[in-house]
Amino acid sequence: MAQIPIVHNLHQEFVLYVSIVDTENTMDEVCQTAAQLSIGFEKNQQPDVPLRVRKVGAEKPFPRDMTVEEAGITPMTSLELFYEAAESASPEPRP
Amino acid sequence: MALLDRADWYDIARNTNWTPKYVSEDVLFPEEQSGALGLPLEVWESYDEPYKVTYREYVRTQREKDAGVYSVKAALQRANFLDQAEPGWVSILKLHYGAFATLEAMASSAESRMARFGKAGGMRNMATFGSLDENRHGQIQLYFPHEHVHRSRQFDWATKSMHTNEWAVVAARHLFDDIMAGRDAVGVALMLTFAFETGFSNLQFLGLAADAAQAGDISFSNLASSIQTDEARHAQIGGPAMKILIENGKKAEAQRLVDIAIWRAWTLFATVTGPSMDYYTPLDRREKSFKEFMQEWVFGQFERTLLDIGLERPWYWDTMLADLDTRHHGMHAGIWTFHKSVWWDVPPGISRAERAWLEEKYPGWEETWGAHFWDPIIARFLKDGPVDTVLPSMVQLCNMAQVPITGTPGWTPGKTGRPLRDFPLEHEGRLYHFGSEVDRWIFQQDPDRYKDHLSVADRMVAGMIQPPTLEGLLDYFSLKEGEWGEDALGHRWLEEYRQEQAQAA
């Protein structure tokens, strides 16, 4: 159990943030932490659609109940947080 | 005593190279300082500067320039223009002086490197004057804001800024260390004088002088014009050097240095000039948008200069043009939101009339920046009252540009702008983050040059900023109360939206 910084890109935000998460946090908890930071989040939120997390450059998101440690997320890893429904809008070219 | 015409003696006098007898050429002009890419002295003798001037002529002209600028300042000092000036213009002045005054003084050292280690006599001659120019620019841009320090301590940042770790200052230092303080003579000629000055700052000072005149700031307009005429001269040091490099098989090396410098200059301009033109300048004084200015003057004219001299467009040219729709809007959004992190007061620039102008100049602005950034903030302010906005967490800064990594909010395919994304790179076990593929490419050109630098975000994560709070960060930035930026309009702009809300109710 340790706190580590992550870099995250929240769906439709304008700036990348650095947040501190716990290695025991699940992906859903990571999303919750990140979402609280976003200025534009109220406008962008989609209450009925879960946010998902994936590494920048990866195609598939991590399972929602997977922990940061289990996902192999190391300090300053860059993550994308996106709504599943909005995946087609993702900027990252998929491998 | 009769004087010879300049043309009768100049070429011979400035080429008085002698053959070194006691040391080798490599010792006299060490490669790490001269950067001549192995080209010997005789090759550099063909250097032909387009703007020839003698010391006598230089001193006479400069004396006249100084007399003009200082006398206008003295005459207008009692008019107290600044007390009636619009807040946006005052912010532009504070930003300008803090960002550039001491950098110009530092440029004197870079010019001196060319004056000593340039292998071409013409380069050394012009750079000697360039060094004196930059010394003058440093002095004059420290002197002019000094009279305003009693109005606001923010003007003191002309002197103070470069001695701090404020984030925008770190970004500026990183850039100018790369293209100026930390380069050899040829590197400075190509990156500072050719790419940065010819392509960007010479035009910037032209624009600034016109904007100042529009704003009624005659004193600053004269100052900017006076500086610009120096820039127009010494910016021409790089062109003849480029010609020699291309003629002697060094085009690829020259192109690489120019490509690095143009992108880096662009990111600085998008951070400083973009918000100034599109958000700070009072609406009725705006002649061109930042995008129009860049397209016409910088990218349009400079593209022709590049091609004429025998270089190619930088490989990222289209990326840079597309960036005109995103980068400076993001810089403005970030700077206004965290206005406490800068030394000038930040106007939001989003009245209904200003938004209509932004939509006209940047079609799609409303459905992205308007709807996904400003409207949520306005809604929150109308609900809770204007709160002191601070970015809610540390933002990730680009490990090259040292500015926040931004994208167009609410972007979806088909909309203008570009999406927010990171361009990470792992190098020797450290994970770096970049705001664009170009920033990442620059790093990859010479990782040893850049790899040890820590962005302000890296410093926060590394525990170097204590306590890791807003107060700790402002203290790290050396921003005290009275210095840190506020909303330049004191949130009075919100009244228009309040009235809209009342009418709709």
B377, B396, B407 ranked by CB distance to A17: nearest: B396
A12, A39, A78 ranked by CB distance to B433: nearest: A78
B371, B419, B461 ranked by CB distance to A43: nearest: B371
**Given CB atoms, is A26 within the 8 Å cutoff of chain B?**
no
Encode pLDDT of A38-86 as tens digits. Answer: 666 666 677 788 899 999 888 899 999 999 999 999 999 999 999 887 5
Encode pLDDT of A6-41 as tens digits. Answer: 999 988 889 999 999 999 999 999 998 888 776 666
Q: What is the pLDDT of residue A42?
A: 65
Tell the residue number behind the tokens 């200059």, with chain if given: B265
Q: What is the CATH number of domain A3-81?
A: 3.10.20.270
Name the pairing type of β-strands A3-10 and A77-83: parallel
Q: What are phi and psi of B481, to 5 degrees?
A: -60, 135
* ipTM score for this prediction: 0.87
Which residue of A lies nearest to B330 if distances are taken between CA atoms? A14
B372 to A38: CB separation less than 8 angstroms, yes or no: no
**Given CB atoms, is B333 within the 8 Å cutoff of chain A?**
yes
From chain B, pick out residues whose CB is under 8 angstroms from the CB of A43: 371-372, 375-376, 410
Distance from CA of A65 to the nearest CA of B (A): 25
Q: What is the C-alpha to C-alpha distance for residues B182 and B449, in angstroms, rounded to an integer?
A: 10
A13 to B409: CB separation less than 8 angstroms, yes or no: yes
Q: What is the pLDDT of residue B204?
A: 79
A19, A77, A78 ranked by CB distance to B393: nearest: A19
Tell the residue number behind the tokens 């395919």, with chain if given: B413
* Beta pairing partners, A3: A22
Helix, strand and coil content of chain A, in percent to the nearest 5, comes to 20, 30, 45
Question: What string of pLDDT tens digits covers the 505 residues of chain B?
Answer: 678 888 888 888 887 777 889 999 999 999 999 999 999 999 999 999 988 899 999 999 999 999 999 988 888 877 788 898 999 999 999 999 999 999 999 999 999 999 999 999 999 999 999 999 999 999 999 999 999 999 999 999 999 999 999 999 999 999 999 999 999 999 999 999 999 998 888 877 888 888 888 888 888 899 999 999 998 898 899 999 999 999 999 999 999 999 999 999 999 999 999 999 999 999 998 989 999 999 988 888 888 999 999 999 999 999 999 999 999 999 999 999 999 999 999 999 999 999 999 999 999 999 999 999 999 899 989 988 887 666 667 899 999 999 999 999 989 888 889 999 999 999 999 999 999 999 999 999 999 999 999 999 999 999 999 998 889 999 999 999 999 999 999 999 999 999 999 999 8
Q: What is the pLDDT of residue B137?
A: 95
B376, B379, B433 ranked by CB distance to A7: nearest: B433
Instruction: Calculate the alpha carbon distances from B55 to B11, B46, B61, B160, B492 in Å.
Output: 14, 21, 10, 33, 54
Size of interface A-B (CB pairs under 8 A): 115
Q: Tell me the domain boundaries of chain A.
A: 3-81
A16 to B333: CB separation less than 8 angstroms, yes or no: no
From chain B, pick out residues whose CB is under 8 angstroms from the CB of A13: 407, 409, 420
Euclidean distance between the first and final Cα of chain A, in Å? Answer: 32
Please, what are the domains in chain B? 46-504 (1.10.620.20)
Which residue of B lies nearest to A38 if distances are taken between CA atoms? B392
Q: What is the C-alpha to C-alpha distance for residues B16 and B448, in angstroms, rounded to an integer?
A: 38
